[in-house]
Amino acid sequence: MKQAAATRSSQSSSGGTAGPSAVQTAQATASQAQATLERADTQACPLPTPIQGLLGDGEERESGVELISRLGPYRLLKLIGSGAMGNVYEAEHVLLGRRVAIKTLRLELAGNRSFEERMFAEARVSDIVGNDHIVQVFDLAHEPNGLTWFAMELLEGDSLASLCDRRTLPLARALDIVRQICDALTPVHEAGIVHRDIKPDNVFVVDHGGTDFVKLLDFGIARLPAAPNAAAAHMPEVVIGTPPYMAPEQVFGGEVDQRSDLYAVGALLFELLTGRVLFERESMTELLGAVVLAQPSVPSEQVELPESVRADLDDVVARCLAKDRDQRPASARELAEELSQIAARLQSETDAQDAPEVEVVEPAPIDALSELAVSEQPLCFDPSLEVDLSALDDDELPEPLPRPARQRRAVAWLALGAAAATWLAPTSAIVHVQPAVANVGSWVTAVVAGAPWNKLGAAAPIESASASDP
């Protein structure tokens, strides 16, 4: 249980309107909650210490933690985490060589029925839910000396708290992580379990081939369906949760449900988007009072967000953090779908920005006939493409193309020249020239009329005239 409020630089939040009686009630509740938190931390949960009483003589030390010989078939190697209720060790199965993580109840809590039940309940969640986002538990045992422990899968990666301490996560990655938290909570809530302690320390991010995969940890204070009030009964007047992520109903010690977890998800999403905790106060009393009364700001008031998703992100966070839980999303599944839609729009916008710009040039209109008329380049003919058109019927022949203006002028001059030659030729030559002129004239007429080129070959060849002909 955290004892101190967040100590980052203060960020003002506008307080919710309430009458004097409401303020006094909230302050009294906050003071009572602080007192019970301190009493639980100092009396029931002293600071974590290494395991004692099971140590071998002369064992070497690793990372300041004494190695012990066995817990069942496992040999403990090193301490990798500590909490108010227990410690977590890296261990190795003696026969199989498999590395696991072992969580032990602290020896000073041995024999405490409440904490032992919590340990057993946490171990059972894995079997009840059966989801990849929940840590798998292999063994559960209670030693004769009162030590309770269970073995679970050893995770390689970082807690979300560690990731956020090192850098600000990209928006797309933050949305994906929170969406996976909702995916993890969906089967948990459908099984009737309320986590009650969603926070960055309890979210573990594993690297799966270059992509993030979220594991939800620490169901030690979860409310199970079989005994929804058992935990509170064994720890009277204790406020359960981590204050910066507690829903208002948790601060009051009231009944919680799956929407209490969604409040914590909203607080976590706010922190990932802005780099700040939701409420930053100097004392626990002020912090708990802010959870109950203060209206949180929306993320876009703290940081610049892409315009395409800004309004949706503000709306999702505001609804998750609603004081009235009836105004929060109805389920983790619903919240996951909303986050998926926002992430898809963000990805579409990113893809559009990353796509190379292609300049589209509209072609200028070209008059094909004018282009042919002024072109000085000779037309080339590929003999391999020649088609025998003589075998085709007249109705199968292609329509004639219009003659370019230059060709028509050339034909006209040729016709004129032929006529002039007829008039100027001697009388003796007229007889021989006339058939040739007649043939040329028919060819010219056909050209001007636009007859198909293949029909021109049908004209009689021009006969040559010589002086020796009679």
Q: Where in the sequence numbering do the catalytic residues fall? A: 197
Residue 226, token pair as written in the block:
């079989």
- Cβ contacts of 469 within 8 Å, gap of 6 or more: 432
Element (H, E) at 103: strand 99-105
Element (H, E) at 92: strand 86-93
Residue 121 φ/ψ region, left for φ over 0, alpha for ψ in the -120 to 50 degree band, beta for the rest: alpha
Residue whose token pair is 């939701």: 278
Backbone angles phi, psi at 55, to 5 degrees: -85, 140
CA dihedral 303, 308, 313, 318 (to 10 degrees): 90
- Cβ contacts of 304 within 8 Å, gap of 6 or more: none
Q: Are 252 and 152 in contact (CB under 8 A)?
A: no
Residue 217, token pair as written in the block:
């940890």
Distance CA 85, CA 106 (A): 6
465 alpha-carbon distance from chain centroid: 91
Q: Are 261 and 198 in contact (CB under 8 A)?
A: yes
Distance CA 185, CA 179 (A): 10
